[in-house]
Structures are given as structure tokens and as C-alpha cells.
């Protein structure tokens, strides 16, 4: 929960492919971006060369939970 902390999400695109998890288990890139923003992350889409994946970096910009905020003090 510390501001400046980073999280990297790598997932299969929500398009049919011969490998990877079933479609119902894949998250759309837009949804991941929305969820990260809602949790107080700045979102950066990482340019990658993986044909069936996307990567998103989340950089924490705010403290989000009371218990973590107590630990930071």
C-alpha cells in the first residue's frame, strides 16, 4: 500500500488462442486498468512483444487501507 510501490500484471489477451487459459478465466485489459485505478494505482501499459499477452504496470499513488497506513507511520 506504500505510495511508489509497483505491481506488474501479465495476462493473456481476451481473444481466442490455441494456448492459455479458457476464455472465461481471462480478464480484459480495460477491466484490469479500471480495477488498478480504482485501487489508487497510476496505470502504464507496457509495450511488449508477446503476441497473446498484455502487460500493465501499476504504480501506487495513494494509501488505500487503514491497516497498511498504520504500518507505514
Q: Note the pLDDT tens digit of each residue in 14-24.
A: 998 889 999 99
Q: What's the pLDDT at 27?
A: 94
Q: What's the pLDDT at 1?
A: 63
Residue ranges of alpha helices (H) inside the chain are 29-38, 66-72
Pick from 3, 2, 7: which is nearest to 61 by CA? 3
More confident residue, 43 or 70: 43
How much is the pTM? 0.77
Q: What's the pLDDT at 66?
A: 58
Amino acid at each position: 500500500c506504500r505510495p511508489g510501490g509497483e505491481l506488474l500484471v501479465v495476462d493473456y489477451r481476451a481473444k481466442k488462442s490455441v494456448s492459455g487459459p479458457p476464455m472465461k478465466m481471462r480478464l480484459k485489459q480495460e477491466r484490469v486498468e479500471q480495477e488498478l485505478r480504482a485501487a489508487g494505482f497510476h496505470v502504464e501499459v507496457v509495450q511488449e512483444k508477446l503476441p497473446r499477452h498484455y502487460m500493465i504496470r501499476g504504480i501506487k499513488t495513494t494509501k488505500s487501507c487503514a491497516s497498511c497506513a498504520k504500518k507505514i507511520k
